[in-house]
């Protein structure tokens, strides 16, 4: 297993209940194949530039350890969730 960090940016006008449900789905994918070491909710932050006319987003940073094959599934699900504006997953060197 490798260590990863993922940042998820959620739309600011997304329903809070829906956002939590979608984030729980992402957590479940990670926990099925690894473990989460830290979740850091940054809250609303101003964007460096507008994305689809939005000037801010809700950020969540997740540090986790998972098998490499699971990254494709996390990426795929993040792309189809309508509350996720952007996401990025990086491998962390030991």
pLDDT in tens, 24-69: 999 999 999 899 999 999 989 999 999 989 999 999 999 999 988 8
Neighbours of 49 (CB within 10 A): 5
Name the average pLDDT for the chain.
92
- CA-to-CA distance for 41 and 27, rounded, in angstroms? 13
Q: 1 pLDDT exceeds 90?
A: no
- CA-to-CA distance for 57 and 43, rounded, in angstroms? 8
Q: Residues of 61-93 as b/e, b for ≥16 C-beta within 10 angstroms?
A: ebebebeeebbeebeebbeebebbbebebeeee
**pLDDT > 90: percent of the chain:** 83
């Amino acid at each position: 297993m490798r260590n990863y960090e993922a940042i998820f940016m959620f739309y600011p006008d997304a329903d809070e209940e829906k956002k939590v449900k979608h984030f729980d789905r992402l957590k479940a994918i990670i926990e099925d194949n690894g473990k989460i070491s830290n979740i850091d909710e940054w809250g609303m932050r101003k964007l460096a530039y507008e994305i689809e006319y939005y000037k801010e987003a809700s950020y969540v940073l997740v540090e986790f350890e998972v098998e490499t094959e699971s990254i494709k599934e996390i990426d795929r699900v993040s792309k189809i969730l309508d509350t996720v504006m952007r996401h990025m997953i990086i491998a962390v060197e030991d």
